[in-house]
Amino acid sequence: MSMKRLKCSAVNADNSFTTQSRSRVALRMLLFFSALMALLALSMLLGPSGIGIPDMESPSGGAILSLRFSRLLMGMMTGAALSASGVVFQALLRNPLAEPYVLGVSGGAGLGATLTILAGTGVLASFSLPIVAFVSAVVTLMVVYGIASQGSSGQPSVYSLILSGVIVSSICSSIIMFLVSTASVEGMHNVIWWMLGSLQPVSAGQQLLSAALLFGALAGIWLLSPRLNALALGREMAHYQGLHADLVIVVGLLFATLLAAIAVSLSGMIGFVGLIVPHVMRAIFGPDHRKLVPLAALGGGVFLVVCDAVARTLLAPVEIPVGVVTALAGGPFFLIILQRRMKQAWIA
Amino acid sequence: MMQHDAMTFKNVSAGYKQRKVLDNVSFTVKEGEFVSLIGPNGCGKSTLLKTAAALLKPLSGTVELFGQDVQHIKPALRASLLGVVPQKIESPMAFTVDQIVMNGRISSMGRWGNPSPVDHDLVERSMIYTDVLDLRERFFTELSGGEQQRVALAMVLAQDPKIIMLDESISHLDINHRQEVLQILMNLNREKQMTILLVSHDLTLSAGISDRFLLMEAGTLVKAGTPVEVLEPVVLSRVYNCDLHVQQDPYTGYLQVTGAIDSLRRRQKLNRSVHVIAGGGSGIELYRRLLIEGYEVTTGVLNRLDSDAEAARALNIPAVLEQPFSPVGSDVIAQALKMVDDADAVILSQVPFGSGNLVNLTLAEAALKSGKPVFLADGIATRDYTEGKAALAFSTRLMQSGANAWHSMSELMTHLQLPQNR
């Protein structure tokens, strides 16, 4: 009898805990969104021309503000793409180190983009850039997957995937270096500037195309997100639970690759965002992908926007490559999160 | 009530790229049956489960669930027919127990993954059934192995399947939770007519609860039937390659299977000694088993550096040794003959013979002459590298003068015990 009562009270305590933790999550969400808004506003105030709202009376004032805004858009798109891509790779490969760079996907996209930049000129190039980057990223992923599958029956192990990803990635960057060294001075300048990673606005056409692809891919991933939860327990378990596990994996990898290609074709090689933002978001909001995918996309976008604001302001008029800032700012933050909240984010 | 066929294997062969694991397996599990699948490690039990769940496509033959070919059943429907509790589930990310169990509803939830009240009810009921409701807010990764296993069972129960297969899922549990999980399975079986296929290593426990046993050996189904029919000591001892005893409790009718360790504990040191003729690594397993069974063991003649010589040194077995790669000389044979004199029996391992060690067979001959039992490993013809097949001829002579042939280790151990038991 007393046993029964004990159990009931435990259940009750549980329920109250649930509501308590729900309101805590709501509070956390509110704080998170306010912080995002504040950071976006802040980044509109930062720039090489000075801190604060530029003088709207002068003709340059409006131009500065609109330039800042278009860099904000570029940052939002690139950061969202990188971060969401990282979330998917980490979920599908069940590995905390998975991200587009590690798997060679970014390297492959970079190689395709380099070829396009060196070969093409004008409007056609800027349109074909995301497409070529995507195709070469998919080809790279297939090569990596193929190498990793050698000798194993069926699914390659995560370790061989990452190992072959790192190798293929470095081969891609060697080829890029080779192409750059044989290119004309102008081509060399273009590629290197692009490779350093920057949120200089690209043509309106390319921005529109990228935005359309980005929203398509994000929506696709969000649709997959309940299945990503199930796949966290592995392909086999997901199969037993009635999923087309292999189909989900392939579609997920394609979406994640598309996102990485969009990011690379928009802003060049910007590292770290796809690795750290998903971890930070998971630490704050838990691993449920239905929440994690949109939150990580938002968080990644804002993170990159803020990093860019810092990059263009800190040593003005000299602009620091934004990839340097993401690594310098994100690294230590990541380490703190890692130590304090890893337990709730990822137990490797 | 008419019992339908829940699961049918029809001449199924299955496996991986180059390795066939299941070989022409056929059986039927009726709806509402509680069946235990038993067999030694690596005999193909897990492969059978994977094939039943359409994770592996059979190389030939078909698997049917309720009369439909499992390869052609839509995944979501398959999940409502068949649930699998694997040996262990691992969550790399910090999901809560609640979230993990909800995965069981994944294929029936809507596109956006929003659980309906039915989904919530099923999840809650499964958690109550498996006693993990208290853990619902905890992180799965922080739970003990037994708790994780009960959560896994809750997740599969939430699928609301008609058949549940468990792949050695209860062997990690401590005794109270094992009893509890088995009780849960029995209740599901009795009350909801749920069909259970349990891969088990605990033969005694399974015998108490199963309607039927399926016994597998090396990818084939060797026996199917009631526990009494399948749990036959001779068959079990052969399949598991060790000495097993089966006792039936006269009052409860429960079967009890006990292994070599249990019989060993009852048996004191034997005070019997055995001389082993070995070489080239053929003696290591023999030494080990004989020592476990409680015999005193001597061995020789071996060449120094031979792996059997090394094993004998490591196991503290007295051995007569010759120089490395040298033919066995007459002085060492004399020493070995003394050992044979002190031994109660002589065993010849599956040692290959060349001109160098052929003389070792005279040790067996000497033992026979003094009336001691001698056991020769069969198949000597394939290991005879002497000129004119001298070893084969010698061994045939030995067999004619009363030596026994041995084939498997468990058979040899049984034969060795006989004279003493009488």
Residue at A192 is within a domain: yes
For residue B421, pLDDT over 60 is answered with no
Question: Residue B68: pLDDT above 60?
Answer: yes
CATH superfamily of B5-260: P-loop containing nucleotide triphosphate hydrolases (3.40.50.300)
| pLDDT score, position B348 | 94
Whether B419 has a pLDDT exceeding 80, the answer reads: no
pLDDT at A148: 85
Asked whether the beta carbons of residue A223 and residue B111 sit closer than 8 angstroms, the reply is: yes
Residues 94-113 of A with CB under 8 A from B: 94-96
| Strand runs labelled E in B315-363 | 319-322, 345-348
Bridge partners of residue B275, in order along the sequence: B298, B346
Tokens of A330: 């994100």
Residues of chain A with pLDDT under 50: 1-17, 347-348
Q: What is the mean pLDDT of residues B181-195?
A: 86
Res. B365: pLDDT tops 90: yes
B135 to chain A: closest CA residue: A14
Q: B166, B83 in Cβ contact below 8 A? A: no
- Read off the tokens for B204: 């005694």
* Interface touch A14/B136, C-beta < 8 Å: yes
DSSP H or E segment with residue B83 = strand B82-85
What local confidence, expressed as pLDDT, does residue A217 receive?
Answer: 94
**Any B CB within 8 A of A344 CB:** yes
The pLDDT of B69-86, averaged and rounded, is: 91
- Domain coverage including residue A114: 85-270
Query: Closest to B113 (Cβ–Cβ): which among A154, A226, A343?
Result: A226
Q: Give the helix/strand (H/E) hosting A48.
A: none
Q: Do A236 and B83 touch (CB under 8 A)?
A: no
The CATH code belonging to domain B267-421 is 3.40.50.720
Alpha helices in B169-214 (DSSP H): 175-191, 203-209
Instruction: Tell me whether residue A220 is in a domain.
Output: yes
Whether residue B86 and residue A287 make contact (CB cut-off 8 A), yes or no, is no
Q: Report yes or no: A347 at the B interface, CB cutoff 8 Å.
A: yes
The CA-based diameter of chain B, rounded to the nearest angstrom, is 88
Chain A partners of B130 at a C-beta cutoff of 8 Å?
Answer: none
Assess if residue A59 is contained within a domain.
Answer: no
Q: Judge contact between B358 and B391, C-beta under 8 A.
A: yes
| Domain CATH code at residue A199 | 1.10.3470.10
Does residue B84 contact residue A240 with C-beta atoms inside 8 Å?
A: yes
Report d(CA A25, CA A240) in Å as an integer: 32
Q: Which range, A47-51, A324-328, B25-29, B270-274, is most confident?
A: B25-29
A294 touches chain B (CB under 8 A): no
Distance (Å) from the alpha carbon of A201 to chain B's nearest alpha carbon: 35
- Residue A14: the pLDDT is 40
Tens digit of each residue's pLDDT (9 = 90 or more) over A60-98: 777 888 888 888 999 999 999 999 999 999 898 887 777
pLDDT value of residue A1: 36
**Residue carrying the six token digits 């394609």:** A254
Asked if A14 reaches chain B (Cβ–Cβ under 8 Å), the answer is yes
Q: Measure in Å the smallest separation between the Cα of A5 and chain B Cα atoms.
A: 13
Q: Are A290 and B103 within 8 A, CB to CB? A: no
A16 belongs to a structural domain: no
pLDDT on residue A15: 41
Which residues in B lie closer than 8 A to residue A229 (C-beta atoms)? 95, 99, 103, 106, 113
Find the CB nearest A288 among B54, B80, B99. Answer: B99
Q: Write the CA distances from A305 to A38, A198, A229, integer angstroms.
A: 12, 11, 29
Structure tokens at A1: 């009898």
Query: Which chain B residues have a beta carbon less than 8 Å from that of A225?
Result: 113
DSSP string, A53-71: ---TTSHHHHHHHHHHHHH
Per-residue pLDDT band for B341 (boundaries 50, 70, 90) equals very high
Distance between B321 CA and the closest CA of chain A, angstroms: 44
Question: Which residue of B lies nearest to A9 if distances are taken between CA atoms?
Answer: B134
User: CB–CB of A239/B55 below 8 Å?
Assistant: yes
Q: Which DSSP symbol is given to B87?
A: S
Chain B residues within an 8 Å CB radius of A18:
136-137
A36: which residues sit within 8 A by CB, 6+ positions away?
Answer: A298, A299, A302
Interchain proximity A286–B94, CB inside 8 Å: yes
Encode pLDDT of A307-332 as tens digits: 998 888 888 788 888 888 888 877 78
Q: Spell out the residues 6+ positions from residue B332 whose beta carbon is closer than 8 angstroms to its own.
A: B300, B301, B320, B321, B322
Nearest CA in chain B to A230: B103
Inspect the interface and report whether the beta carbons of B106 and A11 lie closer than 8 Å: no
In a domain, A204, yes or no: yes
Q: Which residues of A touch B125 (CB under 8 A)?
A: none
Q: Fill in the amino acid letter for A319.
A: E
Q: State the best of A20, A24, A233, A281 to mutate against chain B, taking most chain B CBs within 10 Å.
A: A233
Strand order across the B34-38 sheet:
B82-85, B163-167, B195-199, B34-38, B212-217, B220-225
Q: Residue B394 — very low, low, confident or very high, per pLDDT cuts 50/70/90?
A: very high
User: Would you state the structure tokens that stand for residue A235, as one six-digit string?
Assistant: 């392909």
Which one of A226-230, B200-204, B314-318 scores highest in mean pLDDT?
Answer: A226-230
Give the separation between CA A131 and CA A264, rounded to whole angstroms: 11
How far apart (Å, rounded) are the C-alpha atoms in residues B299 and B316?
11
Res B411 pLDDT > 90: no
Mean pLDDT throughout B101-114? 80
Number of domains in chain A: 1
Q: Is A45 on the interface with B (CB under 8 A)?
A: no
Q: What is the mean pLDDT of residues B384-410?
A: 89
Q: Is A239's CB within 8 Å of B96's CB?
A: no
| B71/A261 Cα distance (integer angstroms) | 36
Q: How many CB pairs under 8 A join A and B?
A: 116
Burial A313-338 (b: 16+ CB within 10 A, else e): beeeeebbbbbbbbbebbeeebeebb
**SS3 at position A42:** helix
What pLDDT score does A123 carry? 56
The conformation of residue B130, written as its DSSP 8-state character, comes to T
For residue B17, list chain A residues with Cβ-Cβ distance below 8 A.
153
State whether A239 and B159 contact (CB < 8 Å): no
pTM (2 d.p.): 0.75
Q: How far is Cα B172 from Cα A291, in angstroms, rounded to an integer? A: 34
Residue intervals of chain B classified under CATH 3.40.50.720 are 267-421
Inside any domain, residue A216: yes
Question: A145 is written with which tokens?
Answer: 């997957």
Instruction: Give the per-residue pLDDT at B337.
Output: 93
Rounded CA-CA distance A164/A150 in Å is 11
B189 phi/psi in degrees, rounded to 5: -65, -45
Angle of helix A59-93 versus helix A2-45 axis, rounded to 10: 150
Lowest mean pLDDT among A204-213, A334-343, B28-37, B209-218: A334-343
Instruction: Indicate which of B56, B93, B138 best probes the interface with A, i.e. most A CBs within 10 Å of its own CB.
Output: B93
Q: Please identify which residue in the block is written with the tokens 């999550």.
A: A25
State the span(s) of chain B assigned CATH 3.40.50.300.
5-260
* pLDDT at B70 exceeding the cut of 80: yes
Q: Which residue has the higher pLDDT, A120 or B273?
A: B273
pLDDT of residue A124: 60
- Residue A201 included in any domain: yes
Q: Is residue A12 part of a domain?
A: no
